[in-house]
Amino acid sequence: MKTNAPNPPASIALALALMLAVSGTGAAQAQACLDKRQIQEAVASGQILSLDAVLASAGVDANAEILNVQVCDQGGTLVYVIGVLAPDGAARNLTLNAR
């Protein structure tokens, strides 16, 4: 008797489609994010902590690869939204208070 097990490539495609759909929902709730110059000015003025300081205080592994960084206003609080690739290959998004 032959069973119809999910096709692994199809399962992966479905998972990716769901991730994109969920991330698209976040875009619909657009946050006001700073550009690179604004981030540099905010760090220089002491309005927010540096990325290194925030990562260290959150206990993020110093060997983790940073994929992307944004600073966004989330309900009146500035937060770092950081894509991180851990040494074990796991990718994740972190949202850390920028102050």
Q: Render pLDDT for 14-59 as a digit per residue (tens, 0 to 9).
A: 343 434 434 444 443 456 999 999 999 999 999 999 999 999 999 9
pTM: 0.66
In a domain, 6, yes or no: no
In a domain, 20, yes or no: no
In a domain, 11, yes or no: no
Across all residues in the chain, what is the average pLDDT?
78
In a domain, 87, yes or no: yes
In a domain, 47, yes or no: yes
Q: For residue 52, what are the domain limits? A: 31-97
DSSP E strands in 11-75: the ranges are 32-33, 65-74
In a domain, 13, yes or no: no
In a domain, 78, yes or no: yes
In a domain, 24, yes or no: no
Report the pLDDT value the prediction gives residue 21, as an integer from 0 to 100.
39
Domain count, the chain: 1
3-state secondary structure of 30: coil
